Structure 1
Amino acid sequence: MAAVKSPLSEAAQKVTGEALQGALVDLVDLGLYAKQAHWNLVGPRFKTIHEHLDEIVDLARTAQDDVAERAVAIGVNPDGRSRTVADRTEIQQLEPGYLNDEKVVLAVTGTLFEIIGRFRERIAATDEPDPVSQDLLIGITAELEKIHWMFQAQA
Structure 2
Amino acid sequence: MTTATQLDNLAIAALQDMLINVAELASQAKQAHWNVRGAAFLTVHQWLDDLAQNLRAHADTLAERIAALGGWPDACSETLSERNSLESLPFGALTTGQALAAMDNGLGRVAAGAAAWLRNPAVDQVTADHLTGLCRDVQNQQWLARAQQ
Which secondary structure does the structure 2 equivalent of 1:78 belong to?
coil
Alignment partners' CA distance in 1, 2:66 and 2:117: 14
Which secondary structure does the structure 2 equivalent of 1:91 belong to?
coil
Tell me the CA shift for residue 129 of structure 1.
3.5
| Residue 4 of structure 1: aligned partner | none
Aligned length in residues? 147
Alignment partners' CA distance in 2, 1:139 and 1:24: 14
Alignment partners' CA distance in 2, 1:102 and 1:93: 16
Tell me the CA shift for residue 18 of structure 1.
0.7
Q: Which amino acid aligns with 1:29?
A: E
- Which stretches of structure 1, 4 residues or longer, exceed 2 Å deviation after superposition? none
Alignment partners' CA distance in 2, 1:62 and 1:135: 15
Taking every aligned residue pair, what percent have the same amino acid on both sides? 29
Alignment partners' CA distance in 1, 2:52 and 2:119: 25
| Residue 144 of structure 1: aligned partner | 138
Contact 2:44–2:96 under 8 Å retained in 1: yes
Choose which of 21, 28, 35 in structure 2 pairs with 1:33: 28
Alignment partners' CA distance in 2, 1:34 and 1:45: 16
Alignment of 1:57 with 2:35, yes or no, is no
Alignment partners' CA distance in 2, 1:117 and 1:109: 12
**Aligned 1:82-121 pairs, distance under 5 A:** 82-121=77-116
Query: Residue deviations 1:57-107, cap 9 Å, x none?
Result: 111111111101101111111111111111101111111110011111112
Contact 2:16–2:73 under 8 Å retained in 1: yes
Tell me the CA shift for residue 128 of structure 1.
3.2
Contact 2:117–2:123 under 8 Å retained in 1: no
| Structure 2 alignment gaps of length 5 or more | none
**Alpha carbon RMSD of aligned pairs, Å?**
1.2
| Structure 1 alignment gaps of length 5 or more | 1-7
Alignment partners' CA distance in 1, 2:148 and 2:123: 38
| Residue 128 of structure 1: aligned partner | 122
TM-score by length of 1: 0.90
